[in-house]
Amino acid sequence: MKLLVLLQITFAEELKITEMISGEGEKVPFTQSLYPEGNVEDWLLEVERVMRESLRKILSDALVDYKEVCSIFIRWNSSFIPCIVLVQDLVIWNVAVFPLGPLVVFSEHGR
């Protein structure tokens, strides 16, 4: 299991903590702002709580969006012949994995 590494937290005006930045550079906005008050151990525990709450909320929102996108995709998918859907999926996957890869392949075969 991969652990999320908290690399940095963002402080706004008056030391308000608004987001975290992961070890991979991903910015995660907090669902609520908090202030570092009292013992450092106490407010870091609060940062951890808000971090988990924020990630839980983002995941929940993503799952809702995924369900909506899937229903649109299923409608789109059933409106084309299977070989076109397969080619389109391969092109999108290649673009995501190898930027400009499919364009190069198409230009080479298009001679």
Q: What is the pLDDT of residues 51-106, one digit of tens each?
A: 999 999 999 998 888 888 888 888 888 888 888 888 888 888 887 777 665 555 55
- pTM for the full predicted model: 0.61
Mean pLDDT for the stretch of residues 22-40: 89
CA nearest to 11, candidates 43, 42, 41, 39: 43
* Extents of the domains making up the chain: 1-79, 81-111
pLDDT at 31 over 90: yes
Q: What would be the CATH architecture of the domain defined by 1-79?
A: Alpha-Beta Barrel (3.20)
